[in-house]
Structure 1
């Protein structure tokens, strides 16, 4: 078996149907199996898969186990030499699966590869990142990443000086479509299930890099990504998941000293947001975007104090 495709799904039946159809329609030249892990959907997703794609292996969960654990459930059953982690809100284009296999097969030291993600209308999604660090958090605290989005220095987290117009090694491509060699996964371990949602793919890429594996974004392989459809189902919970996972990532990879510095940066960020919020309120009233930023800081504080 060449490729095991894993799709974790939660209440996105229509997108999942399009995703599966695109895999079968657009994948030639390689043998593959597909696992759909359904995290207790209530929209009939699992029934649709069984009816329209009977060859797909469906794993049904009675409750939402989160992204990391759901992927691991399928990984334990995979037979492929390569594993493709695929979001249900993606659509395969131009035989992307075979091209990713060929790319990884041509580079012995390549551990993982991802395509360039685009919107349905062809617009580019600049989602590849450098690993989050105390420096990138400082730039975010000072709002310098937003002030200088094209800067290699200030917007290091989103690789602001690169338009995804060339194939290059990256720290962390978007996890919406990521192919990894199975022998690498066995070496590094599967997803860390302490991450319920968000940062689990960042953590996996970090561990791959620590073992010497190289990760690439291949700019001439395209996949459509509609974006945030599963996470968007729970807007009330998603911010807390994001904040808790970010803190877990920093605690795991930077230790006690790193968490202390993170706390200092969080104090700085709080002071800046408080200042901006009050100044903007005096000048132009209460702008919505400042309120959103304030809410994010509050979520981080809740997560930080729970540590």
Structure 2
């Protein structure tokens, strides 16, 4: 287990409660990709599982995925089925983002009902989650990778501090002739967004946009990434302004409630 300079006591808990776990503490948060690569260098198995801290494996998920990969020597990795806390399915398969799609996502156009259809292919809205099948990419919250493939590509690209590191890895797999699979029998609960609950919305969006434009530039060229590079400061300014406005509004509301409470007493 790699601890990316956490400050919530979780590393100490793991050390005390699970003495058999090999715990690697990093002195600073150097990004998700780097932390994964550190773990890879210490791993000895044929397969390596990457699991978000806000996931809970169900039944024999790991065993079934190992068996699945053993039967498919051309598979570089496999991702399982993610569920919400209430047992409902959580979408976990997408196609690779093209420049136009990435630009639309940057502006959150997929949240506009009339424009959602433009993003059906990217979000794989018609995907059959009941069937094992080859895909472009699976969600990075829970997947197992063949160690031989990781050695071939040199692990994760550490220029991706957060977001799109796994998308980039799976793109490499396809480019090198490997397969990426979705396997529904391996299930896990994904406690959505818990990994980012202590990170501001602005910082989330900043890292997301930086990583997305880096991915587009890497796989589609500088010209294709130019629009994203140009609009990123504008989008981040809007997020900063919105965060300030909401924070200010909550502050005013809190003062009003406080005054009402005093008056009522």
- TM-score higher than 0.5 here? yes
Q: How many residues align?
A: 239
Secondary structure of the structure 2 residue equivalent to 1:233: coil
- Aligned residue for 1:251? 217
Q: Report 1 or 2 for greater relative contact order, CA contacts < 8 Å, sequence distance ≥ 6.
A: 2
Matched, 1:242 2:186: no
Change (3 A) 1:227 1:83: same
Please say if 1:52 is aligned against 2:51.
Answer: no
Measured after TM superposition, the shift of residue 232 of structure 1 is 2.4
- In 2, Cα distance between equivalents of 1:160 and 1:293: 31
Residues 226-276 of structure 1: per-residue CA shift (max 9 Å, x gap): 022222211142221111111111111111221235568x59xx8xx9xxx
Partner of 1:222: 187
Contact 1:113 1:216 in 2 (8 A): yes
For residue 178 of structure 1, report the CA deviation from its aligned partner: 0.8
- 1:194-233 alignment, distance < 5 Å: 194-233=159-198
Higher percent of residues as helix: 2
TM-score (norm 2): 0.81
**Unmatched segments (≥5 aa) in structure 1:** 1-35, 274-291, 299-307
Deviation per CA, 1:148-204: give whole Å up to 9, x if none.
6885x6421111111422211111101011101001111122011111111111111
1:295 corresponds in structure 2 to 239
Residue 123 (structure 2) aligns with? 158
- CA offsets 1:4-57 (integer angstroms, 9 cap, x no match): xxxxxxxxxxxxxxxxxxxxxxxxxxxxxxxx1111111211111111100111
Return the alpha-carbon distance in structure 2 between the equivalents of residues 222 and 211 of structure 1.
Answer: 28
| Unaligned ranges ≥5, structure 2 | 243-265
Deviation at 1:116, TM superposition (A): 0.5
The answer to whether 1:167 aligns with 2:167 is no
Distance 1:73 1:142 in 2: 34
> Residue 109 of structure 1 is aligned with which of 50, 59, 74?
74
TM-score by length of 1: 0.71
Q: What RMSD over aligned residues (CA atoms) do the two structures have, in Å?
A: 2.7
